[in-house]
Structure formats: C-alpha cells, structure tokens
Structure 1
Amino acid sequence: MNILFIGFALFSLFFGAGNLIFPPFLGRTYGSNCLIASIGFILTGVGLASVAVYSMAKKNGDIKEFTKVGGEKLGNLVLLIISVVIGPLGAIPRTAATSGEVMIASGINISYNLFIILFFGLTLIFILTDNKLIDLIGKYLTPLLLVVLFFMIISGIVNPIGNPSISSMTKVHTFTKSVVEGYNTMDALASIVFAPIVIKSLIEKGYENDIRRKTVQVILVAATGLVLVYLSLTYLGATSTESHNDINSRVQLLIILARSILGSFGKYILAAIIVLACFTTSVGLTSSISDMFTKIFDDKISYNTTAIIVIIISIILSMVGVDGIINLTMPLLTFIYPIVLVMIILNLLNYNLSKSYRKIILGLTGTISLIQSLSMYISMLNPDLGSNFEKLIAWLPLYDYGFPWLVPFIFLFVIGLFNREKSSTLV
C-alpha cells in the first residue's frame, strides 16, 4: 500500500495541469496517426522521466552525484540550466499563462495581463508568508481533477464528438515530431528534482536496502496513470479534427473539448480546477526553484530576493501566452534534453569510462545540440540566416528527424566501451 501511495504522489508531481494541454493538441495535429503520436510523446514525456527517476535511485537521490558524471563544473551548469528551464523561463510562467487563457477561453471576462499580475502576486504572498493553505488545496485538487478527467475521457470515448481526419504525414515523421513534443512536458528535467522526494519517502518507509526495486514499483504506478491519461486525451483531441476548424491554441482546444463533452457547466468546473492546480504548482515550483538557486549560489542571494526575481521574470514571460512560451523554450529544451539523456545513460549503465572521455561525449552532444538550438532561435529572427547556420549540422544522420546528436553519441559511446579497460571507474 505504501508503494501505491508514493506512486500516486509521483504521478501528481509529474501530472501538472499544464500537461493537459499537450496530448489533445497532439491528437488534433496528427489525426488518424494519433496512436503513433501518443507513443512518441509518451516515450519522452513518460519513458524518459521514468528512466531518470530510476537513474537517480542508483545515486540514492543525490542530484550532485547524478549531474557530476561529466565533472563538477559541468554538473553545476546543467543543474543551473535545468533550474532555469523548469523555473522562470518555462514551467512557472506557463502555469499563469495556462490559467489566464483557460479563464478567457471559458468565457470569463478578465484582462489577461491583470490576471497574470494577480496570479503571481498571490504566489509571492503565499511563498513569503509560508501559508499552509496551499498544502490543503493541493491535497484535494489532483483527485478532483482526475475525477473530472475520468468522466470527460469516458464520455468522449463512448460518444466521440467526431472522427479523426486522415493524416497526410508519414508515421515516421509523426513519431519523431511527437518525441520532440514530449520535451514540452519538461518531466524528464523535473524528475531530477522530484526523484529525491520519492527516494526519501521510500527510505522513511523502511525500504533503504531495497531502494531500486521499490523505485521501479513506484515508477510503474505513476507511469501507468500517465500513459492512460495521455493516450485518452490524445484520442479526444483527434476526434476534434473534423470540427471546430477555428481552434488555434492548445488551451482553447482543451476547453472546447470539455464544453463539447461535459457541457457548459463542465467546462467551468474543469477551468476552475485547472486554475487552482496551476496555482499550487506555481507556489511549489517557485519555492523549490528559489531554494535551489540559493544553494547553487552558496546563499549569496537570499531566498526571498531570489523568489522575487523569479516572480518578476515569470510575469514578463507569461505575457507572451502559452504557445509563445512553448515556442521560446523549445530551442532551450532541444539543447538541454540530449545532455540530460546522455547523463541518464552514463549513470544508468555505469560503465567504467574515464571522466575525460565522459566529458568528450557530453561536450560533443552539447555542442551539436547547442548549434541546433541556436539555429532555431536565429530562424525566429531571420529564417535565411538560421537556415545557413543549421548547415553546420544538417549533414549529420537523423538531422531531419530532430536528432543530429544521436549517431555521434552512439559512435563515441561504442568506442569508449572498447577502451573501457584502460579507463578509471565512474565517479
């Protein structure tokens, strides 16, 4: 029973209200290929996050031990980037933007910018006053959200609002693009932060001598829930492809699905729960990220000052809206995800590659991913210049599928395996 409860806790940590917006839009985008799209999305959105948690379990939940696989300086840099991405440059502003757009899409007449300011103003008040009310709200919101989702999913499957349209995209491209779309959940990055919480809970329950096996059991509980929800929501999104042609945002699609399946009253209930769930996520993330920044900079900046800075940056970025945030953070995720994935592999397999060789592998992966990321940002400003810049890596295998770093990594890793007897152990 302990494993079940901890598994549900991990599920609730991963399944933020913001994650609701991605699967339906994925299904709407790829129509009849929605199953293939779901598999690709789940591979990174659930699979990579699950592997990351297990990889952290091998390090007993020690983030520093996990990230220093390529050296302490690189580890600290990666940890800083992860904190920024799941903090003020990504997940935190997305909570407010999602809430604001949900309110407006539900038909509630409120200024978007005013809502953002109020949302983060309350977030800051709760953080600085250490108000325990947020714990009580969060304790009941996830179960309530799941109940509403359950009725919405079952109703949408039994009485679909339409049929998925025939997709013109090949299954291979659908799969690879959906894998990259799974980056947007940020769960693989968040798992590095969440894993210590889960592992600590297991140790407190007396599983210290069986931590890896129990971690796998916890992961299976959480992953099963996520997979079922993502598959179902992707299908619901696919059933909307023959209707509502004017949908142009992820949040708008979710609210329209709720209205079509549950009726007007249902959409208000879903909207209210999403806003409250996003708020609890905002408070939790801002608090934990501020604490992490304080530790990274050795308490040179106070917790309260850090929290205020995080809130100000989040307010500014929230103004561009959910899709704008996704577009701005996608290149950054394209850079950091391959590095984290390589770190997961090196920690998981634990082959005795020397520290210098691990730095080479991570350095090459990071360089290719950085060029890919910069080309995406440059293309936003100047498509022609971005196209010329990306030629630096466009010749690499799998570039067209979004994975130019993969073959070079495999090549270097295999060479390292043949030379591992001359290498020092992994530290």
Structure 2
Amino acid sequence: MFLKIEKLIPLFTLIFISCASSSLTKDSKSKYPKASKKADEVLQMMSNAERTTFYIDSKKIATGKNVKALINENPHTIVADPEGYRPKETYIQPPYLEESPVRFTFMVEDKVSRDSMIAENSAAGERKEEDSQSSDQSSAEGEPVRGKIENNRTAAPVIDAQVPRTAMDRPDDIAVVLGNRNYENPDVPNVDYAARDARTTKKYLVRTLGFQKENVIYVENADAAAMKRIFGTTSDPRGQLYDWVKPGDSDVFVYYSGHGAPNPETETPYLVPVNSNPNYLSQNGYPVDQLYENLSQVPAESVTVVMEACFSGVSEEGAVVQDISPAVLSVENPVMAMENGLAFTAGTAEQVSTWYNEKKHGLFTYYFLKGLRGAADANEDQAVTAEEMGSYLGEKVPYRAQRMHSRKQTPQVVGQVEGRVLVQYDESVPSQN
C-alpha cells in the first residue's frame, strides 16, 4: 500500500492516458465482481505478491495481483491476504477514482513461516471454543497470568503466545493501532519491532480489554496521508477516529510504535510517517501537539494514549534527524488537560526508546503488555489500574534499560490516573502470587 512517489507517477500517467481515451460502459463494468448490490464505482486493488486474495468489508472478491471490483460510495475496509504472508488492511473513503489503485506492498519480513501459519490457524480454530483449563496458572516467566489463556503452541515470547481472554465487553469503544516499521527514506533507520508491537497490542485490545475487532483502526507503516485521515488535520479534526466514536459512550485507546523526532528548527515533537523526510517535518510529519489537540475534540468518554516512541531524534539504529537538540514535550497539551485524558509514553523527550531484542519487542511495550497480563496488579484485586501500571513500568523499564545498555529510560504517565482501571479480570480468578 505504501509506495514511493516516483513509482506511482508513471503508473498513474499510464492509467490516466488509458482512461482518457475511452470510458467504461455499463456493459464493461458488469464483468467486475460486486462488493454490494448497488455497487457501481470501479475500484482497482493491486499487490506485489502472487496469489493475493482481496476482501472488501469482509466479503471475498477475487484472487490475483491486480483486481478490479465494483463498490458503492460508502467508506470501505480493504484487506489483502497473499499466500504465505500476513494480511494487511486499509480503510478508504470516497471519492473513488479508477486511476488511483489501492496498493499493497509485502516485504520479506511480512512472510509467515509454515510453522507459524500452522500455529496461527490452530489458534484461530481454538478461539471458537472456550479454553477448558483453569486460569489459575503461572506464565513461563514465573509471573501471574490473569484470565483464560489461548492455547497458541509457538515459540514466541510469552506475551505473544499467551494472551489472556477476559469477560470485558466494550462494544462502543474505539482503538487506533499504528506500527511504523519500514521507513522509505534510506537515511531513516527502520524500527525493527514496531509491527510486532502493533500486532500484539491489537490482540490484547480485542482478547483482554474487550474491544470489538471491527472497532480497531489498524495500520502498519502509516504514511502522512493515513495519519491525517485517521486523526484529522489542523483545520479539520474530524478524521476517521472522530467519525467512529459514539459521542459520550465511546472510550478511545490510541497506540503508536515508530519514530518520533523534533522539528530541526522549532524543536517541537512530531510523529514520523514512513514516507516523510525528517528534515522537513513541518511539511510531512504529524505534530504531537496536533494529535493531542485533535484527540481533545473527539467526543469520547475518555482517551488513553500509549506511545512507543522517543522524540530525541535518535533511535536504537542511529540518528533519525542529524544535528538537532532533543524536543521538549509539553505536559500542557490538550489531552493532558482533558478531564479523562491519560498518556503512557516510553520515556522523557531526551531519551532513546530501547528495544528488548531477546523478546522481539520495544522494551516499554513489552512491559506494558506484561502489565496488562496481570504482572502490574500489585494489590492482587484482579484489576490493573493506571496507577499500578505506572508504578510497574517505572520499576521494570529503567532497570532493564540500564542493565542491557547502561542507558536511562524513564516511562512517563501523565493525565487522569486516579480511579482509571485499564483491565478487569473475572472476580473468580484467585490471587496467583
């Protein structure tokens, strides 16, 4: 889906010339599969992977590298599922132009090994039935695990392989999960575990926190256009997230894993889309202040932000922006001032977000998810509160960063902490310490 501009221009030009020479008649449209009964707009979907099966709003359309289908004028969710790769999903809104195909790009790291595919298919089948085992068990790491555990027989870290399922049910709540791993600019290092962080976080949102899968806006390798579409712009905060929220009823959860960096001129913090040039963040980055300002205007009951990113301009793999000073994140931004706003961030502005290579996750995300599994439940009341999570992260992350890299990393918790429950387990689950 995310291709460089120089690759798009010649393709658009060829298609435009073709469209200019002849228009589609009603008869020629009839050969395309329909996503719905009243579909009449042509949508072209393209993938670089062989045998890609395309879905529109969960309906199977066709298999191939270049597929056309008829859609109506409503927004749609498009999924590309190539053989041997993890599927990718995107959300599109009208107007639709046949000469502007929806593109999906699959890379080597998106491949799924045969063993992993067997394990994932097995786990998917098992999720149709409740696990018959009692939840009164400890994890492989010797720490308590709350809730029912999915029987996923993989060699993955325990937070990936054993995701607790609780009785929480949040039909109106909306989540946004972004994992920016692959950066197009050759001078910008990749964030090796960002996609894995995002995928696992989505699992916890659905299985543990009770979000509906269809209420999770999930994007890997989000470009600038995707961020604006989801969160809105400076002039209009009414993005996809705003439209999905049920005013006064929805709680919002936003997770981001990827690069952050300061504007070299103003030193204000930005999220770095995968297609941006960090030297020109004011033109192609997404300002953190704007993110919080727009979130403050979403008519949600509460907003929780979890950010696996630093804004020092330096990452595990090297500099994101050359010759700059660390950004200074203001605690006065709107989401912090909101009555029910809460943010967990990986560290302070001048620090580097550490990778936990042994666990194949960002260090902050690893312990945040582990905390949700029950490790942060300090008083053993079968619930993890924001205050408990903050204390747990403050204990685990700095010590591990210091031990692994002789580096300081201090997670920050800002906003409405008191009384906020992140996850509630069944009352019948006994204490496991």
Structure 1 or 2: more helix by fraction: 1
Task: Give the TM-score of the pair, scaled to structure 1.
Answer: 0.26
Q: Which has the higher contact order (CA 8 A, sep 6+)?
A: 1
Q: Kindly indicate which of the two structures has a greater share of residues assigned to strand.
A: 2
